Amino acid sequence: MRSLVLAASGLVGVCANKHAFDTFTVVSRPVDLRYSEVHQRMQEPIELPQEIRDKYLGYDMAIRNFHVDVIERDPLTGAERSVPLSEAYNHHYISFMGPKKTLDWLYEKMNEQMDPNDVTSPQQAALLNADLNQHAEEEEDAQSEEKEEMPMVIRQLDGHDLHMLGSCHGMGGRGMRMLQNKYGEESMDKVVQFGGASGAEFRHNPHPYPKPYAQVVKQPEALAAILHLINTIDKDHEAEYSPLLECPCTPQRDFDLEHQKIDGKDPRPPFTCSKSMLEKGNTACRLETYEGGFRCCEHGVFLVDTDKTDVYSSPAARFFFKFTFETERIKKSDEKKAAEAAEETAEGETHRLRGALVRAAEGEEEDTIPLRPVACCDVTGDLESFGNIEYDVPQCPEGTPNERCLHVLSTVQYVDTWKSFGPYNVTADPDDLVDLVYASAHIHAGGVRLDLIDEQTGQLLCSTEPQYGEGVDAGDEKNYVVGIKPCIWGPPPLPPPPRFRKGDKLRTVATYDASKKRHGVMSLWLMSGADVPKKA
């Protein structure tokens, strides 16, 4: 059965129950950017509202839904305005929630790894240092108690680990699961990473998790976010959308082909295209042919030629991310009790899942089934490579009819083994089972469709087309991808979650408009699933 592609309004009845959700908002620290400048950093963690911390003390938090916006504030009145993508382009964001102390340590470690090559001029270096010094002074003033020593699991994180958390690999939770696999599940088991399809489509990309499923936070105290934002304010460009969203490599980027470096450091992420893409010579697969994309979009860079464009004479614009959560308090024992109650039946269904789904459908109390990221899928990867994250779409030959001017890329990957997560030489048991609950596509401007297919049966699991804007307001920006509806499975009236062995295979088929060359596009499935307990 093909899953339903539902708008948020289609899930209100599914998620409704006799208990009202708690709703609260967290606004990020300011992001100050000049024209074409990139912000790509973790911000200092922000505590959740005091009333929420008090209410959830000693309880787990079930995140049932969340919404994201990018705003600006009037400095005099405090009035908020949603900022359109034509002014501030959300390349992606990655959110973490958990114990404040753990998030503070993670933030501190990421600052230690700050690369001096991430700034491109003395002016930008001065601005960045001033910002860091201000935060350091604020942190010092706020701490009256003796600082607790950073645990070993945080101290031993290396630059690659932190990059996997903060780059596009982190969007679907890959980075956090890599670290838990590398250092042990208990290393950061109280930190939850989430985001769904977290790029330009963020305003129309709902995240309602149907009960009994939820993102479960064991110690909800603070929120930290890695924000990848580009100042795109330019009323003079004549393109259908800002060319900056493709992150062009400017003359200021130093390509060292002999040592395979960009600005003196290894490309991040490393080039890891599938065998098929390498054979086809996709220009995003090698530094020698790389023209634009995430690897030229690091923190502090400018995406215009600064020898020709003065980016410092005008003041920086100030933006904020605004996160709104709908949550529910659950007992800490729910997960344990649910796991203990799990027992395989002759039909292969667990009592835990069956009972929870029935109770949810009847509006009764139910065990909460925690969700976690599922490894698959990136169309630039295959069974041996976890993927390059991005690729280029070549322009179709002149004279090609419009209906045939398409670029189609297809690949097959494992559902949830560690080969899909990267080079840590550890694999999950391919026979372990996982139920797929939420799948959201992430594609860029020019994207036409993304399909998810069960390779074993040929069954179409999810097919989604991006929503393009038609106006100028935030959420309706003409020619920009402004929304993507996810595929969601759960209790009736939703179709039941498809169950897979982790070693099963899924096919991703990505279709882009090829009327012009496009750089650094992505075709990712960002999915959440629930582990099926093993038979005792």
Residue 123 confidence (pLDDT): 42
Taking a C-beta distance cutoff of 8 angstroms, is the pair 424, 433 a contact? no
Residue 141 confidence (pLDDT): 47
Q: Is 328 helix (H, G, I), strand (E, B) or coil?
A: strand
**Token pair 């899953």 is at which residue?**
3
Taking a C-beta distance cutoff of 8 angstroms, is the pair 162, 169 a contact? no
d(CA 132, CA 271): 31
Nearest to 196 by CA among 510, 483, 511, 493: 483
* Confidence at 425, pLDDT banded by 50, 70, 90: very low
pLDDT digits (tens, 9 = 90+) for 335-364: 444 444 444 433 445 545 555 554 455 444
Residue 385 confidence (pLDDT): 86
Question: Among the listed ranges 65-74, 413-422, 518-527, which one has the minimum average pLDDT value?
Answer: 413-422
* Confidence at 144, pLDDT banded by 50, 70, 90: very low
Residue 119 confidence (pLDDT): 43
Could you write out the three-class secondary structure of 195-207?
CCCCCHHHHECCC
pLDDT digits (tens, 9 = 90+) for 45-58: 999 999 999 999 99
Residue 17 confidence (pLDDT): 44
Q: Tell me the domain boundaries of the chain.
A: 8-139+146-235+312-335+347-531
Predicted structure pTM score: 0.84
* Confidence at 194, pLDDT banded by 50, 70, 90: confident
High-pLDDT (> 90) share of the chain, %: 65
Q: Is the pLDDT of residue 12 over 60?
A: no
d(CA 376, CA 373): 9
Residue 168 confidence (pLDDT): 57
CA 110 to chain centre: 18
Residue 193 confidence (pLDDT): 85
Question: Among the listed ranges 137-151, 162-176, 455-469, which one has the minimum average pLDDT value?
Answer: 137-151
* Confidence at 179, pLDDT banded by 50, 70, 90: low
Of 100-109, 188-197, 219-228, the range with the highest mean pLDDT is: 219-228
d(CA 476, CA 199): 15
* Confidence at 3, pLDDT banded by 50, 70, 90: very low
Number of residues written out for the chain: 536
d(CA 179, CA 216): 18
pLDDT digits (tens, 9 = 90+) for 430-450: 999 999 999 999 999 999 999
